[in-house]
Structure 1
Amino acid sequence: MLRRSLRHTLRSPETMITTIALPIVILLMFVYVFGGAMNVDGAYIDYVVPGIILLCAGFGAGSTAVSVATDMSNGIIDRFRTLAISRASVLTGHVAGSVIRNLVMTGLVICVAVLLGFRPTTDPVRWLGAIAVLALFILAISWLSVALGLVAGTPEAANGFTFVIMFLPYVSSAFVPPESMPNALHWFAENQPVTPIIETVRGLLMGTAIGNSAVLAVAWCVGISVLGYLWARALFRKKTAR
């Protein structure tokens, strides 16, 4: 199932190009159009790249939900039910493929950011820590996306359901410090799951203070992963019980 998921990715290069191109365009826009007006410590590109990385993973999650919804609507699941395979392997293959695909795309976006002037001040151990946090976040949103793909009736609806995931980085510390936002938005930005993940990745890559963000980031990722897994498993069992 993992091999099948990766083959579908290779046969749909426009999806990967779009998923990579959109974060890069947003990066260029914020750095070169809005960056001069942003008041942050240090170069703005060093501040904004961690948020762009998570945004890239959010765009990739949309394709995972669409793939699951497509499988549920085109009859292939009935074919799988006649084979001697585990039902859980269908969903696990989508999630494993999503993690690999999104890590590769995230790496490409980081390479582009370095070419644009992004300069991490970190060591190999902290790089591994940042990659581990990103992988955990991608795992979490992949399971959530699988569940959303099962809820959706069509691939188009699945793509729309993942909009919330892609929207969260905009109301976080990804692009501006939460302190610059109005009170209500400030509270939301400080208490939503994406902010501690961004602060952890930013701290690991740029040496800024992390505080309790790492604990919160891991807790959010594990919680979302468990919720997404249980939700997806229950939905898949119900939809394939007939």
Structure 2
Amino acid sequence: MSTLSLAPRRLRWAVSDTLVLTGRSMSHWARQPAELIIGLLFPVLMVLMFGYLFGGAIAVPGGGDYREFLLPGMFAMTMAFGVEASYAAVAADAARGVTDRFRSLPMARSAVVTGRALADLLHSAAGLAVMLACGWLVGWQWRNGLAHALAAVGLLLLLRVALIWVGIHLALVLRRPESVMVLQILVWPVGFTSNAFVAPQTMPGWLAPIAEWNPLSATVAACRELFGNPGWGGDSFAAQHAVALAVAWPVLLVAVFLPLSVRRYRQLSR
């Protein structure tokens, strides 16, 4: 049988194995609901803290309600914080030898990492739904119609897809669950050195360009534009092409880290 004729069978095999491993990850959430609930509620606490405790002291460039300015940023931050969960799950499996046992089974090599990625994306979609509901309850709303709102949600999930592969690759490299602290040291500065909470114009001159070109800032600015919420404006290239950059940055990250993750998984036993 030719390699070409085997391709559809291999694809079906890979998809089937991916769905099985996705179900495995979701069954863990069913057995440990407290961990799932805490993960969903943490971003809600962030919204309440920044929106109500600090919101009265922060002015939105050009005017507008700070909570409407804040919520798109919090949606993107929720996607960014999820990279820690991806890392922890993959690193735990690698440290306990689960990944090595998977490698010994007659299954598609890519299914372990793609199954984890799909499970994390479903978890993130649920978290984003909770955040959207929370935003609506505190007075946030989209103002440019449903089509633009769905496009913004798509950009948020695209960002999460990219960060899933970053987390998986780092976990396969380090293979130590306790090293998640290293990832937190990286994620939190990237998140706060963005336009999620304040406009780059309010930052020191040397920091503002870094915030504008932060991949997270591109998604936040694009979502504010699509949702019709107050934005930070500006005449820089990053400000004027936020939607294009919100697509380009995640696509670039996926193009780099997805093949690296699959390659690293295949090399684990060498």
Q: TM-score range by the shorter chain?
A: over 0.9
Q: CA deviation at 1:98?
A: 0.8
Structure 1 match to 2:266: 237
- Deviations 1:84-120, CA, capped at 9 Å, x for gaps: 1011100000101111110111110110121111122
| TM-score normalised by L of structure 2 | 0.84
For residues 188 and 147 of structure 2, the distance between their equivalents in structure 1, rounded to whole angstroms, comes to 29
Greater displacement, 194-203 / 24-33: 24-33
Greater displacement, 40-49 / 225-234: 225-234
Is 1:169 the counterpart of 2:191 in the alignment? yes
For residues 110 and 182 of structure 2, the distance between their equivalents in structure 1, rounded to whole angstroms, comes to 25
Is 1:21 the counterpart of 2:30 in the alignment? no
Q: CA deviation at 1:156?
A: 1.5
Is 1:148 the counterpart of 2:177 in the alignment? no
Q: How does 1:10-159 map to 2 (within 5 A)?
A: 10-40=30-60, 41-159=63-181
- Bigger radius of gyration: 2
Q: Contact (CA 8 Å) 1:145, 1:162: kept in 2 or not?
A: no
Q: CA deviation at 1:163?
A: 4.0
Greater displacement, 116-125 / 173-182: 116-125
Q: Contact (CA 8 Å) 1:63, 1:159: kept in 2 or not?
A: no
Q: Which amino acid aligns with 1:15?
A: E
- Deviations 1:123-146, CA, capped at 9 Å, x for gaps: 121122012111111100001110
Identify if the C-alpha distance between structure 1 residues 74 and 9 changes in structure 2 by more than 3 Å, giving closer, same or farther: same
Does the residue aligned with 2:110 lie in a helix, a strand or coil?
A: helix
- Deviations 1:11-36, CA, capped at 9 Å, x for gaps: 23233223222222221111111111
| Percent identity between the two aligned chains | 29
Greater displacement, 86-95 / 153-162: 153-162
Structure 1 match to 2:203: 181
Q: CA deviation at 1:161?
A: 1.7
| TM-score normalised by L of structure 1 | 0.93
For residues 163 and 229 of structure 1, the distance between their equivalents in structure 2, rounded to whole angstroms, comes to 22
RMSD of the TM alignment (CA)? 1.7
Greater displacement, 59-68 / 173-182: 59-68
**Gap runs ≥5 in structure 2:** 1-20, 234-238
How many residue pairs match? The answer is: 241
Greater displacement, 152-161 / 211-220: 152-161
For residues 196 and 233 of structure 1, the distance between their equivalents in structure 2, rounded to whole angstroms, comes to 27
Q: Which runs of 4+ in 1 moved over 6 A?
A: none
For residues 49 and 164 of structure 1, the distance between their equivalents in structure 2, rounded to whole angstroms, comes to 22
